[in-house]
Structure 1
Amino acid sequence: MDGVLDRYRDPSQLVQDKVIDHLDRHCRAFIELSPFATLSTASADGWPDVSPRGGDAGFVKVLDEHRLALPDRPGNNRVDSLHNVAANPRAALMFLVPGIEEVLRVYGTAEIAASEELEVDLTEFGRAPRSVLVVSVTRAYFQCAKSIMRSGLWDPARQVERSAFAPMRVVFGDHCRLTTPLPDDAVMREGLAQEL
Structure 2
Amino acid sequence: MDPAPAALTAYRAPSQRVLDKEIHALDAYCRDFIGLSPFATLATATADGWPDVSPRGGDPGFVHVLDERRLALPDRLGNNRIDSLHNLDANPRAALMFFVPGFDETLRVYGTTSVVDPGELDVDLTEFGKPPLSVLVLSVVRAYFQCPKSVMRSGLWDPERRVDRSAYPSFGTVLREHCRDTTIPTDDAVMRAALTEEL
TM-score range, shorter chain: over 0.9
Correspondence for 1:142: 145
Correspondence for 2:100: 97
2:113 maps to 1:110: yes
Q: SS at 1:100's partner residue?
A: coil
Correspondence for 1:46: 49
Structure 1 stretches of at least 4 aligned residues deviating more than 6 Å after TM superposition? none
Aligned length in residues: 196
Q: SS at 2:104's partner residue?
A: strand
CA distance in 1, matches of 2:133, 2:181: 30
Correspondence for 2:175: 172
- On the 8 A contact 2:176/2:186 being kept in 1, the answer is no
- On the 8 A contact 2:100/2:106 being kept in 1, the answer is yes
1:131-187 per-position Cα deviation (integer Å, ceiling 9, x unaligned): 000000000000000000000001111110000011112101111122445352211
- On the 8 A contact 2:26/2:143 being kept in 1, the answer is yes
1:82-135 per-position Cα deviation (integer Å, ceiling 9, x unaligned): 000011000000000001100000000111001110011111001110000000
- On the 8 A contact 2:94/2:110 being kept in 1, the answer is yes
Correspondence for 1:63: 66
Once the two structures are TM-superposed, the CA of residue 2 in structure 1 deviates from its matched residue by 3.2
- Change in CA separation of 1:194 and 1:181 when aligned onto 2, cut-off 3 Å: closer
Correspondence for 1:82: 85
TM score, norm. by length of structure 2: 0.96
Q: 2:30 aligns with which of 27, 32, 35?
A: 27
CA distance in 1, matches of 2:182, 2:18: 53
TM score, norm. by length of structure 1: 0.97
Give the unaligned 5+ runs of structure 1: none
CA distance in 1, matches of 2:34, 2:190: 33
CA distance in 2, matches of 1:68, 1:181: 37
CA distance in 1, matches of 2:177, 2:49: 29
1:11-55 per-position Cα deviation (integer Å, ceiling 9, x unaligned): 000000000000000000000000000000001111110000000
Amino acid of the residue matched to residue 74 of structure 2? P
Give the unaligned 5+ runs of structure 2: none
